Amino acid sequence: MKSSILKSLCTLLIRLTLALAVAAIVLAGACILMEGSLEDIMTAFFLGPLEDEYAIAEILREMVPLIFTGVAVSLMVRCGQFNMFVEGAFFGGAFLAGVLAPMLGEHFLVTPIISILSAAVAMGAVGYIPAKMKSSLGVNEFVSSLMLNYIVYWVVMYLIHGVAADPDYPNATLYLEDLMRLPLLQEDIELSSNLIIALLAALGCGVFLFKTKWGYALRMTGDNPTFAVYSGIKAKKYVASSQVIGSALAGMGGASFLLGNYYRFQWASLPNYGFDGFVIASIAGNNPYAVPPAALFLGYLRVGALQVSRLGDIPNEVIYVIQAIIIILFGAQFILSRRRKEGGKHA
């Protein structure tokens, strides 16, 4: 048992090293094309994120949405559900928090927490639509949730251009006073306490998944629905509830992120954090406990990329290429290991 944990840790390390090596190679290639200084770029990419406390705080800020969406996706994938509504729920949750917090007024901690919980409940409720369609009618949750993202997006766009908008500030919600937001942990580097909520969410989901009867039933349903039904587990219930919980977590994430790092909601497009959730989940092997380290890794890469783009030699697009390659590296490994598992069972 111990050796198997050690082994999987080793493979993870190897993959991380490989990912970084690939990043370095692509960067070097871009560097030659763009005639930049290789040394400067490498230093910025690998050491830039650790340069000073501002850079480190930037990594920690990056981690928050990644942890929330990563945990949400992990939970749903564990139940065999590929629900894309994480994206829409994150967006919708942020918007709701942006609207609710000013309505509730300035109450230390109370306002942000009520806003976050309401966003979670509301997004969980919306997430019930594809969930129920899947569990009762067999509608593919992947497609329906993808469509739902657009519905939520355009509804928010409509509201933000009208009723929910700040009359003095076009296409945004009202200004968030300090007491409506989550308190800062570190004033000078603007490190918000939403990181703590994110870590608690990851921990809570891990406990839920591995220690409770619901988590066990959810995992059995995801691994093998036939086995679950045969054993007397109500598989449909878990198929639906995993998606509702996942959506709620994503909504919670959007709300926490907004109330921690922004002063009003004014996103004009879907932020893609939901899709990042799938990357994080596959790096973490759908294990909630492994989500924060995975988010740390991706956050580090992103801040490294930011540092490189500040040098001005390398266009931002190269960074996206590197990200894509890393995703393929992890995604492919994820799929391979699954197939190997299934292929090996007849041995």
Pick 136 or 272: Cβ nearer another protein: 136
* Helix 194-211 vs helix 291-311: crossing angle, to nearest 10: 150
Pick 269 or 341: Cβ nearer another protein: 341
Q: Find the shortest distance in angstroms from Cβ 238 to another protein.
A: 12
Instruction: Report DSSP state, residue 191.
Output: E
Pick 4 or 269: Cβ nearer another protein: 4
Pick 234 or 264: Cβ nearer another protein: 234
Q: Find the shortest distance in angstroms from Cβ 218 to another protein.
A: 12
Q: How far is CA 162 from the centre of its chain?
A: 29
Q: How far is CA 337 from the centre of its chain?
A: 22
Q: What are phi and psi of 169, to 5 degrees?
A: -140, 110
Pick 2 or 188: Cβ nearer another protein: 2
Q: Find the shortest distance in angstroms from Cβ 228 to another protein.
A: 8
Measured distance CA(87)–CA(126) in Å, rounded: 12
Q: Find the shortest distance in angstroms from Cβ 208 to another protein.
A: 9
Measured distance CA(342)–CA(210) in Å, rounded: 22
Measured distance CA(253)–CA(198) in Å, rounded: 7
Q: What are phi and psi of 265, to 5 degrees?
A: -85, 120
CB contact at 8 A, 102 and 172: no
Query: What does the binding site for another protein look like in residue numbers (CB under 8 A)?
Result: 1, 211-214, 216-217, 219-220, 223-224, 226-234, 341-342, 344-346
Q: Find the shortest distance in angstroms from Cβ 323 to another protein.
A: 30
